Amino acid sequence: MFAMQGGGFLFLAVVVVLGPQAEGQPTANTEQACGRGRVDGSYMGVQGLSGNISSPNYPNMYPGNINCAWRIMVDEGQRIVIVFKALDIEDHGQCSYDYLRIRDGAGTTAASLAKVCGHTLPPSVTSSGNNVLIIFRSDYSVGGEGFDIEWSAEDLPGLISNTSCEREGGRYMGVQGLSGNISSPNYPNMYPKNSNCAWRIMVDEGKRIVIVFKALDIEDHGACSYDYLRIHDGAKSTAASLAMVCGHRLPPSVTSSENNVFLIFRSVW
């Protein structure tokens, strides 16, 4: 990674009392359908914080001779938990005919986390890194309803450390009050490489949090893949993202839907 550090960010968080939230949460997941005869190596990319994936036509019979692949990709520092909600795939001792396979990485040679068929729901599986590859295959004969799984991203245990940002103990820095400024470590000087900071802002029930960006100077990248500030609409990093920012242009302010936000600032080596 070309770590071009910048001066980081500074923003002001103020609390406002607003009426109840009417609209639903934005969903970050993409639910994909797999067409017939998909070739190995080409896959449907899935990103976000959680989602459901099911076999084509589910809950009706899946087609014969299909070869579907989904790759789930979450942020560095997170892993993927997959829970089986329904399974009805042609049964066989080694699952040699039709099967659902989950690999612990992005490629078809990554270690297998599960290879399943039949009707018994397997225990959930957890990836070791931030990618899984899901493959579903059927032969020409005998089918079933297929599968329905739910995945979610969670932080790798022990990831958020205070090596390069201050904190008050626990996993994050708790921030309370009616308003406050939060800035990157060392601001307005260069933020350190390999920063991994988290703040949770918590206000009284019935109130919401408005965050106004006052300064932004974070390594620029189209998808903010290297260094970024991310703001989640809730108490944890699994809550929907309100903003993911990098670069130099001040983003519009964001408003939480409830009384918590969770902020993550990361920089690469």
- Which residue lies nearer to ligand NAG by CB, 83 or 110? 83
Q: How far is the CB of 105 from ligand NAG (least distance, A)?
A: 22
The answer to whether 48 touches 244, Cβ cutoff 8 Å, is no
- Which residue lies nearer to ligand NAG by CB, 52 or 65? 52
- Quickly count helices (H) and strands (E) in the chain: 0, 18
Which amino acid, residue 237? S
Q: How large is the C-alpha radius of gyration of the chain?
A: 21
DSSP type of residue 70: E
- Output helix, strand, coil percentages for the chain, rounded to the nearest 5: 0, 40, 60
Q: How far is the CB of 36 from ligand NAG (least distance, A)?
A: 25
- Which residue lies nearer to ligand NAG by CB, 86 or 142? 86
Q: How far is the CB of 27 from ligand NAG (least distance, A)?
A: 6
- Which residue lies nearer to ligand NAG by CB, 52 or 124? 52
For residue 251, is the peptide bond before it cis, meaning its omega torsion is within 30 degrees of 0? no
- Which residue lies nearer to ligand NAG by CB, 95 or 229? 229
Distance CA 212, CA 61 (A): 50
Residue 65 burial class via C-beta count within 10 angstroms: exposed 0-12, middle 13-18, buried 19 and up: exposed
- Which residue lies nearer to ligand NAG by CB, 67 or 164? 164
Q: How far is the CB of 223 from ligand NAG (least distance, A)?
A: 21
- Site residues for ligand NAG per CB under 6 A: 12, 27, 29, 50-52, 85, 150, 161-163, 179-181
Tokens in use for 160? 């958020």
Q: How far is the CB of 104 from ligand NAG (least distance, A)?
A: 21
- Which residue lies nearer to ligand NAG by CB, 214 or 248? 214
Q: How far is the CB of 4 from ligand NAG (least distance, A)?
A: 25
Distance CA 212, CA 218 (A): 16
Q: How far is the CB of 237 from ligand NAG (least distance, A)?
A: 15
Q: 176-207 burial, b for 16+ CB within 10 Å, e for fewer? A: eeeeeebbbbebeeebbeebbbbbbbbbeeee
In a 3-state reduction of DSSP, which class is residue 230?
strand
Strand partners, 122: none
